[in-house]
Structure 1
Amino acid sequence: MNETSKGVIAIIVACTVWGLSPLYYYMLRHVPPLELLSHRTLWSLVLFSLFLLVQGRLRELPTLMRGRTMLLVAVAAIVISINWGGFILSVQIGMVVEASLGYFIFPLIMALLGAVFFGERLTGSKLFAIFLAVLAVVVLTLGLGVAPWLALLLGGTFAAYSVIKKLLAVGPVVSVTAEVLFLAPLALIWLAGTHFAGWQGIVGRTGAVFGTGLGDSLLLIASGLLTAGPLMLLSFASRRLTLSTVGVVQYLNPSLQFMCAVVLLGETITLWHMIAFPMIWVALTIYSAGAYRQDKAARRAETA
């Protein structure tokens, strides 16, 4: 098997895990979101640290903990924790359909931010795709009487996180390890409060879930693998595939989330969703086709 095939398998597995993750969080819907987020942070820190230890790269972490780089790591940590927490909440309140919308529009938000912060060129096809996505959000807002705030939060925070990551001149695994290391003290404080002080996580429940049953405890520990595993696979795939290939395959993630929400979790699809989502899918098709042509032209220019 060649390196390209390995990269394709890695990105498909990563996106499949992300896409099916609503089912995992649904099994833990009785766990307060902040407790679940804290466990996700701490157990992923354990796995990321072990991975870097095996690679002999733990010494790279201190270089991220000073000056401007430390500030970027701190901001990235806050942004990704909001994204993770928002997704966990979307499962618990039955809004996975809207969450999937957020990850569908993420590439389009990213294209806009790329133009604003990095001067990346917006072709006509990309501009039209962004316009179509904005129109779809307007349709949902007018039809449902409220803006899809959760979708905008998830798509916006993940796009902002990607912008910050682009400013960090280190590998993705090293940087995300530094981010969860930054968040770890907050997670420990929260878990200490729930375990020893009985802090209230959700209405009607106090205290911690971890330790009250083997099944729940093992699932909470597994949140680290669910976080670390796909990111490591994405890093592996990104070194072997073109960005356009990685970008297109990543649409598998929100597609599976959408299917989980409708087919398995029984979420309702309104008429307005049936109008807005096809508009988003058309926008993504146009955007992907334009990005592919642009990437192909750039490769031809490099080999000319």
Structure 2
Amino acid sequence: MYKGVALSVLASVTFGILYFFTTYLKPMDSEQTFAWRMFATIPFLTLFMWWSGDLKNIQSIFRRILDKPFFLIWLLFSSLLCTTQLWLFLWGPINGRGLQVSLGYFLLPLVMVLVGCLVYKEKLSRWQLAAVIFAVLGVAHEIWRIGSIAWETVYVALAYPLYFFLRRYFKTDHLGGFWWDLFLILPVAVYLGFSLSDSTGLIAAFPHLIWAIVVLGFLSALGLGSYILASRYLPFVLFGLLSYLEPVLLALASIVLGERVEAGEWLTYIPIWFAVLLLVIEGVLHIFRQRQKSQELECKAAQYQDKQN
């Protein structure tokens, strides 16, 4: 459990950094950035899987493809669900739609909590239920304020829960499955990076893009790898609620990049930030209780040892 929480927090912080880092990839457009992100992420991800001993998962999926070629259709659909989200993540801040994308990440945890409760029959603690209520208030206010939901928001909120649910169903919810998601999209990345535009000429004209792409690959592998592992170690409800840390950081990054939070939007963000605070408080209290129980057990063990002596 603690490992999953740590991985989820690491992923959210990395995504926040990555959202801000996209500004260093200019003058690349979102399609070129996406293409080079795929090229740069796979080597770092493969290296991490070699270090962690997870390369066998790539081979196991390949054997499943050989045994059941129909399985490749699911992998292609999984790749589409995953990589279109990665493209949108980059497209948003580059095209001034960062807050619309971040609103999707605000709504995403609620959908994941709903999936966890309805599909996996998971229970909410009192703190988690309170966090959900405040999050619902914030998201509902935003929907009421703008009178509609942007397509970026809807896609982020619905595609990711479907992706994680189907990964569990098809038993590809590990780094090997994620590696195949990126590998299968490489032909599209080649088209976007070389056929659709001359990104190599752009890199030659702006040498800083070389190190920017390397850092992009490292941050992507770290953030996405941590996120995928966290989804496997945590219950669906807790995984969804912990995801609230990410949109908070994405909204802050969008503000730093020049987008503004209007006066009416504060009633959206404040309840959601309060929901995150409730989860943090619950986590701290849980750790405190665990330490108390540990100390009590140690005390009882010492008393028992004294009686034996």
Shorter-normalised TM range: 0.7 to 0.9
| Secondary structure in structure 2 of the residue aligned to 1:169 | coil
Aligned pair count reads 280
Where does residue 262 of structure 2 map in the other structure? 270
The farther-off stretch of 26-35 and 133-142 is 133-142
Matched, 1:20 2:17: yes
Contact map agreement 1:173 1:231 (CA 8 A) in 2: no
RMSD over aligned Cα, in angstroms? 3.9
Matched, 1:47 2:44: yes
Structure possessing the higher radius of gyration over alpha carbons? 2
Structure 2 counterparts to residues 65-214 of structure 1, below 5 A: 65=65, 66-114=68-116, 118=119, 120=121, 136-194=138-196, 198=198, 209-214=202-207
> CA separation in 2, counterparts of 1:71 and 1:290?
41
> CA separation in 2, counterparts of 1:130 and 1:250?
12
> CA separation in 1, counterparts of 2:122 and 2:45?
35
Cα–Cα, structure 1 residues 83 and 115, in superposed 2: closer, same or farther, change >3 Å? same
Shift of 1:75: 1.2
> CA separation in 2, counterparts of 1:150 and 1:246?
22
- The code of the aligned residue for 2:13 comes to T
Q: Deviations over 1:245-272 (max 9, x none)?
A: 655544322222222222x223111233
Shift of 1:172: 1.9
> CA separation in 2, counterparts of 1:9 and 1:289?
15
Cα–Cα, structure 1 residues 11 and 285, in superposed 2: closer, same or farther, change >3 Å? closer
Contact map agreement 1:115 1:121 (CA 8 A) in 2: yes
Contact map agreement 2:164 2:173 (CA 8 A) in 1: no
Q: Deviations over 1:54-78 (max 9, x none)?
A: 5352422403534453222211211
> CA separation in 2, counterparts of 1:79 and 1:51?
23
> CA separation in 2, counterparts of 1:141 and 1:260?
22
Cα–Cα, structure 1 residues 222 and 211, in superposed 2: closer, same or farther, change >3 Å? farther
Shift of 1:7: 6.0
Match for residue 31 of structure 1 among 17, 28, 44? 28
> CA separation in 2, counterparts of 1:273 and 1:162?
30
Shift of 1:275: 1.7
- The code of the aligned residue for 1:227 comes to S
> CA separation in 1, counterparts of 2:147 and 2:160?
25
Shift of 1:171: 4.5
Contact map agreement 1:19 1:253 (CA 8 A) in 2: yes
Cα–Cα, structure 1 residues 260 and 287, in superposed 2: closer, same or farther, change >3 Å? closer
Q: Deviations over 1:202-253 (max 9, x none)?
A: xxxx985333322112212332222211233345666777776655544322
Unmatched runs of 5 consecutive residues or more in structure 1? 199-205, 292-304
Where does residue 203 of structure 1 map in the other structure? none
Where does residue 292 of structure 2 map in the other structure? none
> CA separation in 2, counterparts of 1:11 and 1:114?
17
- The code of the aligned residue for 1:256 comes to L
> CA separation in 2, counterparts of 1:41 and 1:82?
12
Shift of 1:121: 5.7
- The code of the aligned residue for 2:175 comes to V
Unmatched runs of 5 consecutive residues or more in structure 2? 284-309
Shift of 1:93: 2.2
| Secondary structure in structure 2 of the residue aligned to 1:266 | coil
Cα–Cα, structure 1 residues 255 and 64, in superposed 2: closer, same or farther, change >3 Å? farther
> CA separation in 2, counterparts of 1:102 and 1:64?
34
Shift of 1:114: 4.1
> CA separation in 2, counterparts of 1:142 and 1:252?
23
- The code of the aligned residue for 2:59 comes to R
- The code of the aligned residue for 2:246 comes to N
Cα–Cα, structure 1 residues 13 and 180, in superposed 2: closer, same or farther, change >3 Å? same
Where does residue 201 of structure 1 map in the other structure? none
> CA separation in 2, counterparts of 1:248 and 1:148?
22
Contact map agreement 2:110 2:136 (CA 8 A) in 1: no
